[in-house]
Structure 1
C-alpha cells in the first residue's frame, strides 16, 4: 500500500468535516426549523439560521472545491473519483435546490411544498456528503 498524498489527506479531512456538518443539519437543524413552519416565529428563526450557518458554508464549500480540484490535478483513482462525485452531488444539490429554496422561504415564507423541497434537497446533500467522505477516506488510507 502506498502512502497517501497531501491532496488525498486534505480531501479526506475536509469531506469528513463536511459530513459531520451535513449530518448535524439533516438530523437536528432542519427538523427543528421545519417544525416552526406553522409558527409566527418562522421568519425570525429562518433568518437566524441563515445568518448563523453562512460562515460554516463559506468555509466548508470552498474547501471542498479546492481540495477536490487539487485531487483532480494530482490524478485521482477510482475511490478519488467516487469522492469527487459525492462532492459534486452535495454542492450541486445546494446550488440547484437548497439555496434557491432557502431564498424563497425567506421571501415568501414557508409552504408545505417548499419545506418538503428543502428537506429533500438536504437528504440528497447528505447522501453526497456520505459518498464523498467514504471515497475520500478510502483514498487517504
Structure 2
C-alpha cells in the first residue's frame, strides 16, 4: 500500500507535470463551491501540514493554477482554484483515474473492492480517534 502514492506520483508527473499531492490539492479545490477553501481546512482535507500546503499553494500560484484570497469578515486565507487550474485538474483526471484503476482496482473482484472501501473507513476512523487522543495528551 505504501508504494501506491509513489507509483501515482510517477505517472502523474510523467503525464501531467503534477505531483500526486498537487493533483490532490487541485482536485479538492475543484470540488468546493466557488473552487475555494480556507487554507487550514484544505490542509486538513489533504492530510497535510499547513506549512506543506502553503508551499504547494505558492507553487500553484506561480503556475497560475491557484491564488490566495481573503473573505471580508472572516479570518484566514483561502486558496482559490483559477480557471487554468480547473482546466489542469480536468485534463489530469482521466489519467489519474486510469492509474488508480490499473494499480489497484483491476486486481480486485467487486466484493473485494467493497471490502477495501469498508476496511479503509474502519482504519481511517481509528486513525482519527488515536490522533485526537494523542493531541489531548
Q: How high is the TM-score relative to the length of structure 1? A: 0.30
Q: Which has the higher contact order (CA 8 A, sep 6+)?
A: 1
The structure with the largest strand share of the pair is 2
Judging by fraction of residues, say which structure has more helix.
1
Give the TM-score taking structure 2 as reference length.
Answer: 0.30
